[in-house]
A and B are shown apart, each in its own frame.
Chain A
Amino acid sequence: SQKIEQNSEALNIQEGKTATLTCNYTNYSPAYLQWYRQDPGRGPVFLLLIRENEKEKRKERLKVTFDTTLKQSLFHITASQPADSATYLCALNAGKSTFGDGTTLTVKP
Chain B
Amino acid sequence: NAGVTQTPKFQVLKTGQSMTLQCAQDMNHNSMYWYRQDPGMGLRLIYYSASEGTTDKGEVPNGYNVSRLNKREFSLRLESAAPSQTSVYFCASSPGEYQPQHFGDGTRLSIL
Contacts and interface: CB of A to CB of B under 8 A. Distances in A.
Nearest to A100: B42
Given A49-B100, A101-B40, A43 B45 contact: no
B90 A96 contact: no
Given A32-B98, A97-B33, A99-B42, A43 B58 contact: no
Contacts of B58: 96
Interface of B: 4, 33, 35, 40-45, 48, 58-59, 90, 92, 98, 100-106
Nearest to A45: B103
Interface string A1-27: 000100001000000000000000000
Given A31-B98, A96-B48, A43 B4 contact: yes
B103 A97 contact: no
Given A46-B100, A97-B101, A102 B106 contact: no
A109 interface: no
Contacts of B33: 97
